[in-house]
Amino acid sequence: MKLNKPLVLSSMALSVTLALSACNDSNNSNESDNNTSIVEQENTSTLAHYLNRDIQDDVFYFVMPDRFHNGDTANDLGSENIAISRGGFDKTSKSYYHGGDIKGLTDKIPYLKEMGITAIWLTPILRNQAVQGDVSGYHGYWVLDFTEIDPHLGTNADLKRFIDTAHDENIKVFFDIITNHTADVIRYKECHGEGETAFSDGEQQCEYKSLAQVAAGDKYTPFVPDGMENLKVPSWLNDTKYYHNQGDSTFQGENSIYGDFFGLDDINTDDPEVVAGLTEVFKDIITEFKPDGFRIDTVKHVNIEFWQAFSPALVEHAKSQGLPKFFMFGEVFDGNPDVLSRFTTEGKVPSVLDFGFAFAVRNVLVDQKGTSELANLFAQDVKYRDHDSDENQLLNFVGNHDFGRFAWYLQQSEHNYVEAEKLARLTLAHQMMYFLRGIPVTYYGTEQGFVGDGGNHDSRQDMMPSQVASYNDDDLLGTDKTTEDDNFDQLHPLYLALKEMAEIYQAHPVLRYGQQQVVHSNDKAEIFAVTRTLPSGEQYLVAFNTANHTSNANILLSQNVEKLIYQSGAAEGNSQSNQLNLNMAPLSVAIFQLSN
C-alpha cells in the first residue's frame, strides 16, 4: 500500500515544512517539498457539554493571570484596605506583579476557544501576601485568605463572571489550590529572633528539626509577629498549633513532608482537625464558584493519609453541587512512575501531571536520545490503573512555570539547533503531547514562540507588552516580535499548529480513549510508533520520526493499514501481511487507521 499520494497542505504541515527546510542535513534538501497533511473528518465528534464532558475530551491551557492580559488597571496595586495584600507592582521586575487579571483573561476567551482550548487552568487566585522579602506573590502560591480572590486579580464577582463566560463557550475552568502551606507569617524564636519578619525567596533560614528531635523536646518555639495575628482566613489558620513548625525543608526524607517549603508555613495535615478544616475550605470554594476541578500544588509534600480523606470528599461534594465530572489532578514533581502512581492509586487523587512524560520527551527531542526512553516510560503505565483511573487520564505537558519552557531547553542544547529546527522539534513535542496517551496541557505563551531563560520567574513572560529586559531580549520562535509587543497573534505558526492538533484530537476518539501499545522503538533518535485501540476494536497507528533526517522502520501490526488519517511530513509506506514498511520525513508525525 502506497501512502505518498498528493494531499492538501495544512497549517501545521506548513509550519513544520518551513522549519525543516532550514535544517542542516543536506541529504534532506528536497524532502520537505513533499511534506503534506490530511485530517480525516469521518470520526468527528461533537464536544459534549462541560458539565457532562469526560476529562479525556479536554484540551488544557495553563495560564498565569498576572502575566496574561490587563483588563482593569485600577486593581494593579491590589487591596485598598488590607496593607499586606497591597503593593508589589513593578512591570520592570520579573518577580513582581505586572497587572494581568481576571477581566483580562475573560477578554481573551475567544482567542483560547479559537485555538481549540476546552479547559483553562489558572495559577492560584486566592488572596496572597503581596510581598515577602524582595519578591511578590504574583504567582499566587502564598495564600492568606481562602475565601476571596487576590485583589490584584479582581473580585469574587469578576471570577464568577469569568467562569460564566467560559462556561457559555463550553470551556471548563480549573483552580490551582494549595493545602501544604500558607503564606510565611509564623516565626521561630530560636532562629528568627522576636523582631525578625524578613522573608527571602528560596533562602533556607531555619535548620530542620526531625520528628525524633521534636519528640525528645528539641523543637522550635513558634510565634506570630505583632500585628499579624489575624491575617489568615478562616481564622483557625492563625493558630500555630495547626502547623508543623519544624524548620525549613531540604526536600529529602521526612522533611519533604514536615518541613517549611522555602519558609512558607507548613500546615499540619496529619491533624484530623486540619483535614476537616481544609476539606471544608475547599468545599466552600466549590459551592461558591462552581469550578470544574482543581489542580493541587505540592502533593508529594503532604502525607498520603490526607489525600485519602480529602480527595474523595471533594469529588462527592462537587457531585452534590451539580458537578458530576468534577476532576482533580496533583503536582508530584518527580519523573518516576512509582512515585507518581502512588498518589493516583493509594492516595486516591484522580490524576497527576505526568513529569515522567515531560522528562522523556525532553530526552528524545532535545538531547536526541533513543526512542526507547519513551517505550520504557510507557511500559510502566500499568502502575496507574485502578478502579477509577488509568494512564489515559494523566496530564501531559512539556513545559511549565517551574519546569521551564521546552523552547528554552532547545535553546540550551549542546546540539546548537538553528531556529527552524527548534520550531520543528517544539511542534513535534506538542504532537506527542496531543496524540500519545494522556490529556494535553499547553503552557501559555508556547503558541507565540516564548523561550525564556530557565524555570521559575524566568519562564513567566508577559503576553501583554512587557517591560522586563530579560524577557524582551529573547529571540521568540516563529515570529519577529519580542515580548515587548502584544503577543496574541492568531496567525502565528505555533498557534495554528496547536489549533490543528486540537481539531485532530477532538475528531478521533481513539486518540483520547484508545489503549496504547508501543509497536516500534529503538536506542536511536528515529521512528517511534504506538497503536491506540478502542474496546470496539477500532485501531490507529501513530508514528513519530524524532530524527532530523528521513527514517525507515518495519512495523509489525495486528491489523492491516486501511488509510492515512494525518501526516505532518511526507510519509511513504508499503503494507503487506500486517507489516508496514514506513519511511517518514524528518521530525514528523503520521497517523493511520488500521482494520482487520
- Does residue 416 sit in helix, strand or coil? coil
- The C-alpha cell at 42 is 469521518
- The C-alpha cell at 90 is 513593578
Confidence (pLDDT) at 15: 41
Asked if the model's pLDDT at residue 6 lies above 60, the reply is no
* Pick from 442, 480, 449, 490: nearest CA to 108: 490
What would the mean pLDDT of 478-486 be, rounded to a whole number? 98
Place of cell 502502575: 383
**Residue 560 banded pLDDT, cuts 50, 70, 90:** very high
Residues 6+ apart with CB under 8 A from 572: 2, 3, 4, 582, 583
Host H or E run for residue 594: strand 588-595
* Pick from 537, 544, 538: nearest CA to 520: 544
- The C-alpha cell at 290 is 462552581
How many whole angstroms separate alpha carbon 112 and alpha carbon 118? 8
Instruction: Please write the tens of the pLDDT for every residue from 523-541.
Output: 999 999 999 999 999 999 9
Mean pLDDT over all residues of the chain? 92
Confidence (pLDDT) at 40: 54
Q: What Cα–Cα distance (Å) separates residue 94 from each residue in 184, 286, 453, 460, 470?
A: 21, 32, 11, 8, 8
What would the mean pLDDT of 40-52 be, rounded to a whole number? 76
How many whole angstroms separate alpha carbon 288 and alpha carbon 286? 6
Q: Which residues of 408-437 are buried (b: 16+ CB within 10 A; e: fewer)?
A: bbbbebeeebebbbbbbbbbbbbbbbbbbb
* Pick from 436, 331, 339, 336: nearest CA to 391: 436
Residues 6+ apart with CB under 8 A from 9: 17, 35, 36, 37
Q: Are 55 and 393 in contact (CB under 8 A)?
A: yes
Alpha carbon dihedral 75, 77, 79, 80, in 10-degree steps, equals -90
Three-state helix/strand/coil letters over 264-308 = CEEECCCCHHHHHHHHHHHHHHHHHHCCCEEEECCHHHCCHHHHH
How many whole angstroms separate alpha carbon 381 and alpha carbon 323? 28
Longest CA span, the chain: 79
Confidence (pLDDT) at 43: 54
- Does residue 391 sit in helix, strand or coil? helix
* Pick from 583, 565, 584: nearest CA to 510: 565
Percent over 90 (pLDDT), the chain:
88
Question: 440 - beta bridge partners?
Answer: 396
Q: What Cα–Cα distance (Å) separates residue 167 from each residue in 9, 170, 214, 292, 425?
A: 34, 5, 49, 10, 34
Confidence (pLDDT) at 44: 52
Q: Which CATH superfamily is domain 11-45+512-595 in?
A: Golgi alpha-mannosidase II (2.60.40.1180)
Candidate from 25-34, 160-169, 398-407, 431-440 with smallest mean pLDDT:
25-34
Confidence (pLDDT) at 164: 98
Instruction: Please write the tens of the pLDDT for every residue from 161-212.
Output: 999 999 999 999 999 999 999 999 999 999 986 555 445 444 557 999 999 9
Asked if the model's pLDDT at residue 34 lies above 70, the reply is no
Q: Where are the alpha helices (DSSP H) in 333-412?
A: 337-344, 355-365, 372-378, 406-412
DSSP 492-551: SHHHHHHHHHHHHHHH-THHHHPEEEEEE--SSSSEEEEEEE-TTS-EEEEEEE-SSS-E
* Count of CB atoms situated within 10 Å of the CB of 28: 17
How many whole angstroms separate alpha carbon 385 and alpha carbon 391? 7
More confident residue, 237 or 8: 237
What would the mean pLDDT of 76-90 be, rounded to a whole number? 97
Instruction: Please write the tens of the pLDDT for every residue from 239-267.
Output: 999 999 999 999 999 999 999 999 999 99
pTM score, whole prediction:
0.94
Host H or E run for residue 465: none
Asked if the model's pLDDT at residue 4 lies above 90, the reply is no
Confidence (pLDDT) at 182: 98
How many whole angstroms separate alpha carbon 552 and alpha carbon 520? 11
Peptide bond into 324 cis (omega under 30): no
Range ranked top by mean pLDDT from 17-26, 389-398, 572-581: 389-398
Instruction: Please write the tens of the pLDDT for every residue from 324-351.
Output: 999 999 999 999 999 999 999 999 999 9
Confidence (pLDDT) at 27: 38
Residues 6+ apart with CB under 8 A from 586: 20, 23, 25, 28, 31, 424, 545, 547, 548, 549, 550, 551, 569
What would the mean pLDDT of 55-81 be, rounded to a whole number? 98
* Count of CB atoms situated within 10 Å of the CB of 346: 13
Confidence (pLDDT) at 471: 98
How many whole angstroms separate alpha carbon 571 and alpha carbon 550? 9
How many whole angstroms separate alpha carbon 302 and alpha carbon 299? 6
Catalytically active residues, by annotation = 297, 331
At CA 417, angle to CA 412 and CA 422, rounded to 5? 90
Percent over 70 (pLDDT), the chain:
90
At CA 319, angle to CA 313 and CA 324, rounded to 5? 125
Place of cell 502506497: 2
Host H or E run for residue 575: strand 571-576
27 secondary structure, DSSP code: G
Q: How long is the chain?
A: 596
Q: Are 102 and 151 in contact (CB under 8 A)?
A: no
Q: Are 419 and 15 in contact (CB under 8 A)?
A: no
Question: 177 - beta bridge partners?
Answer: 296
Instruction: Please write the tens of the pLDDT for every residue from 373-391.
Output: 999 999 999 999 999 899 9
Q: Are 94 and 489 in contact (CB under 8 A)?
A: no
How many whole angstroms separate alpha carbon 15 and alpha carbon 266? 47
Confidence (pLDDT) at 578: 85
Confidence (pLDDT) at 37: 58
Q: Are 426 and 494 in contact (CB under 8 A)?
A: yes
* Count of CB atoms situated within 10 Å of the CB of 243: 20
Residues 6+ apart with CB under 8 A from 387: none
State which amino acid sits at residue 19.
A
Helices vs. strands in the chain: H and E counts, helices first = 16, 24
What would the mean pLDDT of 276-283 be, rounded to a whole number? 98
Instruction: Please write the tens of the pLDDT for every residue from 66-75.
Output: 999 999 999 9
Domain residue ranges of the chain, discontinuous segments joined by +: 11-45+512-595, 184-259
